[in-house]
Amino acid sequence: MAKDLERDLGLLSVVAISIGAMVGSGIFILPALAVKDAGAGIIAAYLLAGVLVLPAALSKAEMATAMPEAGGTYVYIERSMGPLLGTVSGLGTWFSLSFKGALALVGGVPYLVLLFDLPIRPVAITLAVVLVLVNILGAEQTGRLQIGIVAVMLVAIGWFVAGGGPAVNTATYGGMWDYGVEGIFAATGLVFVSFAGVTKIASIAEEVEDPDRVIPLGMLGSLAFTTLLYVLVVAVVVGVIPLDQLAGSTTPIADAAEATLGTAGVAAVVLAAILALVSTANAGILSSSRYPFAMSRDGLAPGLFSTVSDRFGTPVTAITLTGGVMLLLILFVPILEIAKLASAFKILVFALINVALIGFRESDAPDYDPSFEVPLYPWTPIFGTLTGFALLTQMGLIAIVGAVGIVVGSVIWYLGYVRPRVTREGAIKESVRRSIGDRALDRTEETLDETAETSVLVALPEGASRQSEATLLELGAALSPTGSGLSVVQFDEVPDQQPLDYASGVQSPGDLEFECRTDTLAATLDTPVEYGELVSHHPERAVANTVKERDVDVLLVERGASFEDSLLGDSIDRIRKQTDCDTIAVDAQPLDALDTITLLTTRGPYDPLKVRVGNAVATAAEANLQFRYPLDERQSAEERQQLEAYHDDLLDLCDVPTERRFVDRSDLSDAIDEADSDRTLLVHANNGGLSARASNDSGTAEPAIQDSDHASMEVDTKRHPGGVVGRLLERLAF
């Protein structure tokens, strides 16, 4: 039987873990680095960083009460945005937390060297091994250890602030804005990682007792306390040490203590620094080990990482792996030189956390029921997202390139390991698909409205057959039932040497036959028909000009028709490129001979015009209307359920007997061939939708319709309300 993690972390343990995760390298190491960017403005930088991290903390608090699962950031982004970004956030955050833990240990040892002559890296490695063993023993012991560490550390830091306050030279604060807003913003980006620990509570949410109350209280309380503590400590440091001296220090807090509290103060600060930095590493191991644990449970990492030890009740493999990565970083990576990398990725992940919250809220997911909700939604997460990406611009090229490298590595892992195994999708994609489907249904309902005026032009080349004209006229009448503008024009081509005014005054036997035939066909229709002939040296251009002059909505032509002699390819395609109206190209086949009208699509909702055409033809021919949608083996259960609901609503809009049928994408050609070619009309798009997905056995992207003997109708819609971006979103979401 599978084992679960015991909920044994109370509010005190949670707050201690969060404060311990924050009060480390952020205050004992980074001030000496950040002062180079902002001078005395680092006081404002720490305060601003605390404010900017608040939206992500609130977002994670809400999501943690709805999903108190191990994994924190990974869980929320994966559930909201899907496995791809879940993999990126899980692997990236796990790596960055391991990195921050290693930074804390290597950065803390110089404080120890002030008292003892010890080698930095061996001591850091020893501490890392000890902390890994402590975490393997169990979460309860870890929480108790963290409480003791934080208590001693806070007493020492409290003495430092109280004792150093009277020695502060307030004149130093006058130069707070010497480096400008840009300098403060750059320093804010660097020290942002100092506050990352506030959200680590969410990564151990599965072990927190009474998570609905403890998680938000723990996050907000520890953030407020730590922000105030940072500002006070940095204010003392800036006020007692010259800025140029501070910029070159490896132990800035100890230097300030020596100037204000003497030897006893230095000893207290050294003790606090060691405890703080060890607690940062301890909390980093505790929380970061949960990422491979949670990813493993969801299939994004090998199963051995989700194994819980029978003896200790902890994920030993995940903790050991995290410790191993931390040791490698201590041994081989110049951690201080890449401090901005940890902060840059944290900023990116925190921005995604805010987006994830919006995704959950807007998706209306039935199982998302948080007991705590972010105030001022949606402005709070929007603010957090925008400011996060703004901070990223201040991190420098190396940090951004490094973060991109982590993202690329995560994507490679997703493509190689995750994608073949996981078909799950995120709440945002489900929400977007539902929204796109609803909008498409609304557009379809408007398009099917018989009272809406539609200007239809039937364009015929000279010498068109009676059957071709009869089919196009019948379809045109079906598309303009109110008689709102059905025109038939025969476009005659004359040589360049013949004047047009002469050609227009001469009626050939073919012209007379066209007029007589059209008059007879129009008499059988309920819709008034306006017809005539137009002579031109270039009929294709004449068709385009007529469309523009008459403000035509729909152009009807015979599929494969040629309006003028040319070696430049399909005449209909050339006309499409010159017009901005919707174009329908149909095979010349009697509509009353049909019993099934099949609408094909391969990705995205059905085009409203295509539905209107199919419904109109089926109504005129008293035929059935069939919607055929191909699925592949990677279609998730949630996606199929949404597609079924979309089809059910779509079928309700039609006026004839309808049927929906899902077919395997790889068998699309076979599914088409099953139908009676003499009694079926295939209605499909000419905008690349079919060819983009249908493939034959050789793997070439040829439309399945080309290989069939069925009569077909190509619908080319130019006036998509969302343009190219709208089409792309539809195909990505469906």
Q: Which residue, 329, 285, 284, 273, is CA-closest to 21?
A: 284
Instruction: For the chain, give the percent of residues with pLDDT over 90.
Output: 2
Eight-class DSSP state of 483: -
Q: Distance between CA 706 and CA 18 in Å, rounded?
A: 63
Q: How confident is the model at residue 694 (pLDDT cuts 50, 70, 90)?
A: very low
DSSP state of 581: S
Instruction: Tell me, yes or no, whether 582 and 640 share the same domain.
Output: no
pLDDT in tens, 294-328: 788 778 888 777 777 777 677 777 788 878 877 77
The verdict on 32 and 176 lying in the same domain is yes
Range with the poorest average pLDDT among 147-151, 423-427, 724-728 = 724-728
- Tokens representing 265 are 């103060």
pLDDT tens digit string along 469-520?
888 888 888 887 665 668 888 888 777 666 666 556 666 777 778 888 888 8
Rounded Cα gap, residues 314 and 6, in angstroms: 10
Can you tell me whether residue 221 is helix, strand or coil? Answer: helix
Mean pLDDT of the chain: 78
Amino acid (1-letter code) at residue 561? A
475 and 417 in a common domain = no
Which of 370, 402, 422 is where one domain is finished?
A: 422
**DSSP strand pairing (624-631 vs 554-558):** unpaired
Banded pLDDT at 387 (limits 50, 70, 90): very high
* Residue 5 pLDDT greater than 60, yes or no: no
So what's the pLDDT on residue 138?
A: 63
Of 431 and 652, the structure prediction assigns the larger pLDDT to 652
> CA angle, 189 as apex, 348 and 60 as ends, to 5°?
45
pLDDT higher than threshold 70 for residue 671 = no
Quickly list DSSP for 302-371. Answer: -GGGGPPPTTTSS-HHHHHHHHHHHHHHHHH--GGGGHHHHHHHHHHHHHHHHHHHHHHHHHT-TT---S
Exposed, middle or buried: residue 468 (CB in 10 Å: 0-12, 13-18, 19+)? buried
Q: What's 547's domain CATH number?
A: 3.40.50.620
pLDDT at 435 over 70: yes
Indicate whether 436 belongs to any domain: no
| 8 A C-beta contact, residue 734 and residue 604 | yes
Pick the residue with more confidence: 340 or 567? 340
Note whether 307 and 323 are same-domain residues: yes
Provide the CATH number for the domain around residue 57: 1.20.1740.10
What average pLDDT does this structure show over 116-126? 78
Q: Is residue 194 part of a domain?
A: yes
Q: Which of 125-134, 246-255, 375-384 has the highest average model confidence (pLDDT)?
A: 375-384
Q: Which of 31-35, 279-283, 587-591 has the lowest mean pLDDT?
A: 279-283
**Token pair for residue 718?**
């130019």
How large is the average pLDDT for residues 679-689? 67
The arithmetic mean of pLDDT across residues 531-541, rounded, is 83
CB distance 229 to 157 below 8 Å: yes
Q: Do 577 and 623 lie in a common domain? A: no
Tokens 């009208």 belong to which residue? 597
Sheet with 486-493: strands ordered across: 529-536, 486-493, 456-461, 554-558, 582-586, 711-716, 680-685, 596-600, 624-631, 658-664
Residues 720-728 have a mean pLDDT of 64
Distance (Å, whole) CA 79 – CA 370: 14
The answer to whether 76 touches 353, Cβ cutoff 8 Å, is yes
DSSP 204: B
**Which of residues 166 and 24 earns the better pLDDT score?**
166
Tell me: do 172 and 110 sit in the same domain.
Answer: yes
Sequence-distant (6+) residues with CB within 8 A of 647 are: 627, 629, 660
Query: What's residue 9's pLDDT?
Result: 66
Q: How confident is the model at residue 385 (pLDDT cuts 50, 70, 90)?
A: very high
Question: Is the domain of 676 the same as that of 550?
Answer: no
Q: Which domain holds residue 392?
A: 11-422
Asked if the structure places residue 723 within a domain, the reply is no
Please check whether residue 253 lies inside any domain of the structure: yes
Band the pLDDT of 55: cuts 50, 70, 90: very high
User: Would 1 be classed as within a structural domain?
Assistant: no
Question: Is 206 within a domain?
Answer: yes
Of the given ranges (47-56, 120-129, 349-358), which has the lowest mean pLDDT?
120-129
pLDDT tens figures, 196-217: 777 766 656 666 777 777 777 8
How do residues 158-179 score in pLDDT, each as one tens digit? 888 888 888 888 788 887 888 8
Per-residue pLDDT at 526: 79
pLDDT at 691: 36
- What whole-number distance in Å separates Cα of residue 557 and Cα of residue 570? 13
Same domain assignment for residues 417 and 517: no
Mean pLDDT of 510-537: 82
Fill in the DSSP letter of residue 607.
Answer: P
The residue from 540, 560, 588 where one domain ends is 588
pLDDT exceeds cutoff 60 at 86: yes
Torsion of Cα atoms, 444 then 445 then 451 then 456, to 10°: 10
The pLDDT of residue 248 is 76
Residues 287 and 370 in one domain: yes
Check whether 698 has a pLDDT greater than 50.
no
Question: Is 665 inside a domain boundary?
Answer: yes
541 and 633 inside one domain: no
Other Cβ atoms less than 10 A from the Cβ of 310: the count is 8
| pLDDT, tens digit (0-9, with 9 covering 90-100), for 211-237 | 777 777 888 888 888 899 899 999 998
How many whole angstroms separate alpha carbon 513 and alpha carbon 497?
25
When divided into structural domains, the chain yields a total of 3
Q: Is residue 437 part of a domain?
A: no
Alpha helices in 178-242 (DSSP H): 180-191, 200-203, 211-240
**Same domain (yes/no): 193, 212:** yes
User: Tokens 């609905």, residue?
Assistant: 212
Structure tokens at 716: 């080319």
Helix 427-447, helix 73-81: angle, nearest 10: 20
pTM of the full predicted structure? 0.68
Please indicate whether residue 521 or residue 693 has the higher confidence score (pLDDT).
521
pLDDT band, residue 380 (cuts 50/70/90): very high
Q: How far is CA 295 from its chain centroid? A: 19
- Which residue(s) pair with 598 in the sheet? 626, 682
- On whether the CB atoms of residues 479 and 613 are closer than 8 A, the answer is yes
Q: What is the mean pLDDT of the segment spanning 337-348?
A: 76
Residues 402-418 have pLDDT tens digits of 778 888 888 898 888 88
Q: Is residue 340 located within the same domain as residue 369?
A: yes
pLDDT for 386 equals 93
CB count within 10 Å of CB 15 equals 21
Q: Percent of the chain scored above 70 by pLDDT?
A: 82
Identify which has the larger pLDDT, 133 or 24. 133
